[in-house]
């Protein structure tokens, strides 16, 4: 009994959404041996049960002059689907380029960080089940991290809405500590929140600069000190400290010492 295979683009997206292992088959048209061996493994009822907890991906390729050649995409695909499939294929090609001239059978975690590739001699039902179980445990850890990440982002978003900028930035640091891979969808929410905070920081900094240009130096220095406390972000803090130093040098005039901000 063959699993329900999805195309590369659909499978990778679904695996990220559900955080499930990926059972990956890239079938080389000339590799009859792996095809027959895989069919035998997939007839195992325990393997079939295990694969219900995985996202099954299948694509087709050939090897010409040492280069990968993918089977043409379906003529029924729209532009968005073509873009998704082409992008997914590039990811897989980069990931598996070093494979020998055989069909590729593998189990990967949903982020494609850790995986097991099966050579023909290792392509057995017991090995496949073991790899799926291992990837399931890894995926469970990812799901726990995502749940925690969602709570952190919800809290940070609430702080942003209440204009508690410092609290929001400190909360987002906790998200960074979870060390999500770059493909984690939650990071898109983080980017949007950071864009809002950065816009506020730039606006506040521009106000301080206007005060400085108007020779309201004491007010500018005071404003910058407030910004420094309100936006605890290493890169932004460095720039504000530079601004503070410049303003204080102007306040002190020629020959004055530079205070330690």
Q: What is the pLDDT of residues 74-121, one digit of tens each?
A: 889 999 999 999 999 999 988 887 566 788 999 999 999 999 999 888
Structure tokens at 122: 């290792």
Cα separation of 121 and 46, whole Å? 20
Please state the φ and ψ torsions of residue 123, each to the nearest 5 degrees.
-80, 85
- The residue-averaged pLDDT of 63-84 equals 87
The Cα–Cα gap between 201 and 213 comes to 18
Q: What are φ and ψ of residue 40, in 5° steps?
A: -65, -45
Beta-carbon contacts of 52 under 8 Å, excluding residues fewer than 6 positions away, are none
- 8-139 maps to CATH 3.40.30.10: yes
Residue of 226, 194, 208, 45 whose CA lies nearest to 128: 45
- What contacts 24+ positions apart, CB below 8 Å, involve 211-219? 212/243, 212/246, 212/247, 212/250, 217/247, 217/250, 217/251, 218/251
pLDDT tens digits, residue range 162-189? 999 999 999 999 999 999 999 999 999 9
Per-residue pLDDT tens over the stretch 224-254: 999 999 999 999 999 999 999 999 999 998 7
pLDDT band, residue 261 (cuts 50/70/90): very low
Q: What pLDDT band is residue 257 in, cutting at 50, 70 and 90?
A: very low
Q: Residue 260 — pLDDT band, cuts 50, 70, 90?
A: very low
Question: Residue 258: is its pLDDT beyond 50?
Answer: no
Q: Please, which pLDDT band fits residue 71 given cuts at 50, 70 and 90?
A: confident
Measured CA distances, 193 to 171, 189, 227 (Å): 11, 6, 18
pLDDT at 171: 98
Buried b (16+ CB within 10 A) or exposed e, 149-175: beebbebbbebbeeeebebbbebbeeb
The pLDDT value recorded for residue 64 is 78
d(CA 11, CA 25): 11
- Region class of 179: left (phi > 0), else alpha (psi between -120 and 50), else beta: left
- Determine contact, residues 242/208, Cβ cutoff 8 Å: no
Q: Please give the structure tokens belonging to residue 115.
A: 């995986």
Report residue 67's pLDDT band, with 50, 70 and 90 as the boundaries. Answer: confident
pLDDT beyond 90 at 29: no
Residue in this structure with the two tokens 């790899």, named with its chain if needed: 131
CA-derived radius of gyration, the chain: 27
**Three-class DSSP category at 76:** coil
Element (H, E) at 254: none
């Amino acid at each position: 009994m063959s699993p329900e295979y999805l195309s590369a683009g659909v499978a990778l997206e679904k695996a990220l959404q559900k955080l499930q292992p990926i059972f990956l088959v890239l079938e080389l048209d000339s590799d009859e041996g792996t095809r027959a061996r895989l069919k035998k493994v997939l007839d195992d009822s325990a393997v079939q049960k295990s694969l219900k907890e995985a996202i099954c991906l299948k694509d087709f390729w050939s090897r010409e002059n040492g280069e990968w050649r993918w089977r043409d995409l379906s003529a029924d695909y729209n532009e968005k689907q073509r873009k998704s499939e082409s992008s997914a294929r590039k990811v897989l090609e980069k990931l598996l380029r070093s494979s020998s001239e055989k069909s590729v059978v593998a189990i990967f975690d949903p982020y494609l960080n850790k995986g097991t590739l099966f050579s023909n001699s290792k392509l057995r039902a017991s090995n496949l089940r073991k790899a799926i179980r291992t990837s399931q445990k890894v995926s469970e850890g990812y799901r726990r991290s995502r749940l925690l990440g969602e709570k952190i982002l919800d809290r940070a978003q609430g702080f942003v809405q209440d204009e508690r900028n410092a609290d929001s930035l400190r909360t987002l640091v906790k998200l960074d500590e979870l060390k999500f891979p770059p493909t984690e969808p939650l990071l898109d929410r983080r980017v949007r929140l950071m864009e809002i905070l950065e816009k506020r920081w730039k606006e506040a900094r521009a106000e301080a600069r206007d005060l400085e240009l108007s020779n309201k130096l004491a007010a500018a220095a005071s404003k910058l000190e407030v910004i420094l406390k309100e936006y605890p972000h290493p890169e932004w803090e460095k720039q504000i400290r530079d601004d503070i130093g410049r303003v204080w040098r102007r306040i002190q005039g020629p020959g004055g010492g530079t205070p330690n901000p």
